[in-house]
Amino acid sequence: MKRSFYLRTIFLLAIFLVVNVMLTQIASAQAKLSRNELAASFPQAAASSSGSGAPVTITLQDALSRARGNSVEFQSAVADAGIAHQQKVQARAALLPGVNVNSQFLYTEGNGTPTGRFVANNGVHEYIAQGNAHQSLAVADFAEFRRSQAAEAVARAKAEVAARGLVVTVVRSYYSLVTDERKYATAQKADEEGRRFLTISQQLEKGGEVAHSDVIKAEIQFQQVHRDLEEAQLAMEKSRLELAVLLFPNFNQDFTVVDDLNSPQPLPDYPEAEAMAARHNPDLQAALAGLHEAGSEVDVARAEYLPALSLDYFYGIDAPQFAVHSPPLPGSFASAPVRNLGYAATASLTLPVWNWGATHSKVKQAVIRRQFAQVELNATQKQILANLHSSYDEAQVARREMESLGRSAELAAESLRLTTLRYRAGESTVLEVVDAQNTLTQARNANDDGQARYRLAVANLQTVTGNF
């Protein structure tokens, strides 16, 4: 007894060890597979960011085209528009006749009679092979088709809204990188100027022309502009990463952008912009289509009060043998074979009588939605006018300020040159030189920001008016 108990115990322990080893191997294989999958997701990014080929040159139009393929929000709106179109196709198909083929075999237990055991059947063996043409005529189907048309218009308008919003996002990121690259170049020049001025002050100190305090101030200024250079480089790298996420399906930083800020786009006159907003604004189109959709929903609900007609036409066989002709039935007077192939037609009219007020409730529900859609349309119209005024004024101000900012940058550069010459001649102080250096950096950065501001203002205006 004890021997058999020990054997069973050893056997169970062996099974336990084998199962444990198998589970450990499975877990190890799964972990290895997960690590391989994780590692496999990075080589493409690493290769793309450190490729040996020439970097891709991207214009603004290239950036917009790439972003449309990578934006989840835009692709979601496009998918919604495609789904709405297919729903319209399905609603239209419901208005047209459909054709089906029905095949069926029925077997009934025999009892010595032609019909078999069950009186409801036509025979012991019954074969059905028929084509069925079906047509449903209901007012609700026509109203549903009109509603699907309006729903598709809403989805397409929302896709256009998403597309224009994506343009603003891309323009902001694109010109943010352009301006950050310019600011980095400005910071490099300021760093070089600070280093040169430090050298000048040190030389003048050795000649006994300036005090040591000038050298200290020049060194402080040089340290500050060098820190600004590092911050500008960091901002440029962040902007590059942000734009790379928008443009590429993988992690790719090996690209350059075209700096076209010096060629601003002209603005249309305000009456022209207002007319474009009235014709091409997608928010207004979506609100109008939403009101039409809500009105069609009222028609769909009211159509349930009306009768529905359906027509069916059958052609084929429904016989005890699967054949065009079959022998005469026992006990019949016919001597020739019976032709099984034939047709039948049915017409059905459904009159709604009572459903405990459900249809009335649906109508009231649809009317409430239509009223709210009208409120939304009114609010959208007012908001579009406000956005048009705001965006147009912003673009106008930004356009006028561009020339002033450019002129300020030119004057600041000349002021620094003259102040440096005066300092060499002992006619100005170190504080004047430092102030001129800072003024030049600020003027150049402000000029770059002003040009990017105008481009972004134009993009915001085009969300209201469309392209011009």
Q: Which residues contact 223 (CB under 8 A, 6 or more apart)?
A: none
The reported pLDDT for the residue numbered 45 is 45
Cα-based angle 142, 145, 148 (whole degrees, multiple of 5): 155
The reported pLDDT for the residue numbered 319 is 85
In whole angstroms, what is the distance from residue 313 CA to residue 183 CA?
A: 78
The reported pLDDT for the residue numbered 50 is 45
Q: Which residues contact 91 (CB under 8 A, 6 or more apart)?
A: 141, 144, 145, 147, 148
> E strand or H helix at 100, and its extent?
strand 98-107
For 41, 78, 136, 231, 374, the CA distances from 292, given in Å and listed in that order, are 47, 21, 25, 54, 10
In whole angstroms, what is the distance from residue 35 CA to residue 83 CA?
A: 38
Provide the token pair at 340: 């099984």
> E strand or H helix at 131, and its extent?
strand 125-137
DSSP 258-319: ---TTSPPPPPPHHHHHHHHHHH-HHHHHHHHHHHHHHHHHHHHHHTTS-EEEEEEEEEEEE
* β-bridge pairing 255-257 and 56-58: parallel
The reported pLDDT for the residue numbered 326 is 79
Is the full-model pTM beyond 0.85? Answer: no
For 42, 65, 169, 181, 242, the CA distances from 252, given in Å and listed in that order, are 11, 16, 19, 18, 11
The reported pLDDT for the residue numbered 75 is 93
Place of tokens 């290895």: 32
Q: At what angle do helices 72-93 and 139-206 cross, to 10 degrees?
A: 170
Give CA 172 to chain center in angstroms: 17
Residue 271 one-letter amino acid: P
Tens place of pLDDT per residue across the chain (468 aa): 445 545 555 655 666 565 565 656 665 655 554 455 434 444 444 444 444 468 889 999 999 999 999 999 999 999 999 999 999 999 999 999 999 999 998 888 887 777 777 777 777 888 899 999 999 988 989 999 999 999 999 999 999 999 999 999 999 999 999 999 999 999 999 999 999 989 999 988 888 888 888 889 989 999 999 999 999 999 999 999 999 999 998 888 889 999 999 888 889 999 999 999 999 999 999 999 999 999 999 999 999 999 999 999 999 998 888 888 877 766 666 667 888 889 999 999 999 999 999 999 999 999 999 999 999 999 999 999 999 999 999 999 999 999 899 999 999 999 999 999 998 888 888 899 999 999 999 999 999 999 999 999 999 999 999 888
Q: Is the dihedral of CA 299, 301, 304, 309 positive or negative?
A: positive
The reported pLDDT for the residue numbered 48 is 46
* Residues 60/173, Cβ–Cβ less than 8 Å: no
The reported pLDDT for the residue numbered 49 is 46
Q: Delineate the domains of the chain, giving CATH numbers in brackets.
A: 63-96+139-306+357-465 (1.20.1600.10), 98-137+307-351 (2.20.200.10)
Provide the token pair at 468: 């011009």
